[in-house]
Amino acid sequence: MPLLDVKGLAKHYGASPVFESVDLQLQPGELVALLGESGVGKSTLLNCIAGLDSFDAGQVLLDGHDIGRISEQAQALLRRSHLGFVFQAFHVLPHLSVADNIALPLLLLKKPDPERVEQMLDAVGLSALGARMPRQLSGGQLQRVAIARALVHRPRLVLADEPTGNLDPDTAEQVLDLLRAQTQQEGAACLLVTHSQRAAERAQRVLRLHAHGVTEAQ
């Protein structure tokens, strides 16, 4: 069974269609890149998959859960337990230390685990910086915090929306390698929205979103 199974997904904003029929499947351990022109609906698709945006037709099965058919509360719980998000703008909380930012998903699940937080700090090369505040970090370091936070609770699916858009090429490569290694190690799947050809080369499969749906790009 695929970890993520999207079937015939359609989304409109008012009278304007964003996409008409998206089909995509992600298997455990897979890093899949999603390309597409600006405004074609990549972020909207991620939000629909996460249950953060509604859709007009089709189905999203996340680890067998039909997210369009469960209550908002059940969706929120599923998001907490099954999903990790990495955004272009990091969304690291400024008033929490690096370690506390990474610990947050575990606290929301009422499963605090300081050892796991240490392990993730180590995995992203920030062991020495756990006590620092986010304003004391570089862009690349902040994005590594965001990745550690997205993975700390061992989510089944990681949704990454242009996570390297703000980074220089070398840091971007390090961040992508980390995302790939960590998702593979945990048997998670990762859907990576990107404009970067170099980022897409890191993926096992590359998909392209068009107005009508998703096609394999290579």
Ligand X SMILES: Nc1ncnc2c1ncn2[C@@H]1O[C@H](COP(=O)(O)OP(=O)(O)OP(=O)(O)O)[C@@H](O)[C@H]1O
Applying CB under 6 A, what is the total number of residues that bind ligand X?
10
Three-class secondary structure assignment of 119-135: HHHHHCCCHHHCCCCHH
Q: Does 208 bind ligand X (CB under 6 A)?
A: no
Q: Which of the ranges 35-43, 55-63, 119-127, 142-150 carries the binding residues for ligand X, by CB under 6 A?
A: 35-43
**Binder among 18, 34, 129, 150 for ligand X (CB under 6 A):** 18
Q: What is the x/- site pattern for ligand X, positions 55-84, by CB under 6 A?
A: ------------------------------
Per-residue binding string, ligand X, 39-58, x by CB under 6 A, is: xxxxxx--------------
Q: In the complex with ligand X, which residue's Cβ is closer, 40 or 96?
A: 40
The DSSP-derived string for 93-111 is -TTS-HHHHHHHHHHHTT-
Q: Are 92 and 134 in contact (CB under 8 A)?
A: yes
Q: How many residues would you count in the chain?
A: 218
CB of 103 to ligand X, least distance (A): 30
Angle at 91 between CA 100 and CA 196, to 5 degrees: 125
Query: Applying CB under 6 A, does 36 fall inside the site for ligand X?
Result: yes
DSSP alpha helix (H) spans, the chain: 42-50, 72-82, 98-108, 114-123, 139-151, 169-186, 197-201
Q: Write down the least CB distance from residue 49 to ligand X, Å.
A: 12
Q: Please give the residues from 127 up to 146 whose contact with ligand X meets the rule CB under 6 A.
A: none
User: Min. distance of Cβ 164 from ligand X in angstroms?
Assistant: 14
**Which residues make Cβ contacts (< 8 Å) with residue 74, sequence separation at least 6?**
none
Please, what is the minimum distance in Å from the beta carbon of residue 8 to ligand X?
A: 18
Of 28, 45, 27, the residue nearest 36 (C-alpha): 45
Strand-pairing partners, residue 65, are 62
List of residues contacting ligand X (CB under 6 A) = 13, 18, 36, 38-44
